[in-house]
Amino acid sequence: MKVCFICSGFGEVHGGAQKQLTKLIHKLSTRGCEITLLSRKSLTTKNIPNAQLVLIPDYFSSIRMIGSLSFIIFAFIWVLKNRKNIDIIHAIQMYSNTTIGVLAKIFFKIPVVTKITATNEFGEVKTIRELPFFSIRKRLLAGVDRFIAITTQAQNELISLGIDNSKIIFIPNGVNLSQKLSFKQEDKQVCRNELNINSNKIAVYLGRFSDEKNIDIALESICKLKQNPVLEGFKFLLVGGAGNYRSVEAKLKDIIQKNELDKYVGFIPSVENVYDYLVASDIFVLLSTSEGLSNALLEAMACGCCVLATDIDANKDLLKDNQNSILVKVRDIEGTTEAFKKILGEEVDTRQFGLNARKVVEENYSMPVVAERHLELYRDVIKNKIV
């Protein structure tokens, strides 16, 4: 099967959607798929294994609309020339990538599926309603054969846009399962020794330091516990950063300095061995206002971590309060403080929470399972050639 992915900003901000795409391409290639990835030349800074990367010109990219139009035109020309080598187009997000896919379907009868990667405040449905030419964009979306929703929230938002529910299929993000596990003390200690971490209580945040992640709430909660013995030997590791995209790193460092939290908080640049940090931890922290389906959360659960997270819809697809996680309200400092106190004070069976979290991803979110569901979707769409 010859699959053409279109992801205009691959490498621009190598966040969750791009990481997920990399994993999916790798797994599909091991199943015999021939993969091509189209991306904007100005925004793509890295190659991708297991795929032919095609860099499409996007002239005047500093002017967003002109750059997008340029990308659509030149990507369409590439599809025109290579249409006999494409069985299906898989567009990442609903914007220019999907426009190219729908045009390819109209002119060349190539099936197209679109994956929705974000919901709520920063979601695609909300954004596309606010973009120019919304009515035209909405008519183009009607040409998509299938929409891939990674959460129930994404499905609901698509329906609110007028997309027929029969065109929506739920396929979550996938994750590679860790061989080492946080709830196994011997694995935890091995990772701590390898990382030279001496703290005996560790919380980890993994990802971008952007505003919607609400890392400041975690810091304010830790500040409230400074005089509490549960913080003895505690360290909160902020792993990641990933550039200036909505970055609040300066704000976080200011909070740490003003409240004298240096003893309790450490910054770790983006690393390849994220699983080692997760296995070394006692708590994975994710206090976001909104998420698509967090890759970091999936990775933490794949490592058997106890999770402290917000009770947003995307998280609740994975997490059950007091079963594999402690859930708190968004930007609830008091609730977050109490959750830290319970977990660090050993009022929570973190080992059982970690076991339960691991079981969820093993059964429903492992990368082989997710890749097979994509293949089933592709076969069904190609077979039926919905036009």
Structure-block tokens of residue 342: 């319970």
CA distance 112 to 104: 8
292 close to 119: Cβ distance less than 8 angstroms: yes
Work out the number of other CB atoms within 10 angstroms of the CB of residue 324: 23
Among candidates 75, 91, 262, 279, which has minimal Cα distance to 190?
A: 279
265 close to 238: Cβ distance less than 8 angstroms: yes
The residue assigned the tokens 């249409």 is 83
Query: What average pLDDT values come out for the chain (387 residues) when binned by 10 residues?
Result: 91 70 94 95 71 88 82 96 98 95 97 93 90 92 96 94 96 95 96 95 94 96 96 96 74 96 94 94 95 92 98 93 97 98 94 97 94 97 79
Report helix, strand or coil for 268.
strand
CA distance 148 to 93: 10
Find the distance separating the first CA and the last CA of the chain, reported in whole Å.
20
Report helix, strand or coil for 317.
coil
Contacts with 262 (C-beta within 8 Å, 6 or more apart), sequence order: 256
Please tell me the total number of residues recorded for the chain in this structure. 387
Domains of the chain listed by start with CATH number:
2-174+366-384 (3.40.50.2000), 185-364 (3.40.50.2000)
48 close to 22: Cβ distance less than 8 angstroms: yes
285 close to 277: Cβ distance less than 8 angstroms: no
Q: What is the pLDDT of residue 101?
A: 98
The beta-strand segments (E) located in 190-324 are 201-208, 234-241, 265-269, 283-286, 306-310
Structure-block tokens of residue 129: 């309603």
Q: What is the pLDDT of residue 57?
A: 87
122 close to 213: Cβ distance less than 8 angstroms: no
* CA distances from residue 272 to 193, 204, 240, 276 in whole angstroms, order as listed: 17, 15, 10, 9
**Residue type at 200 in one-letter notation:** N
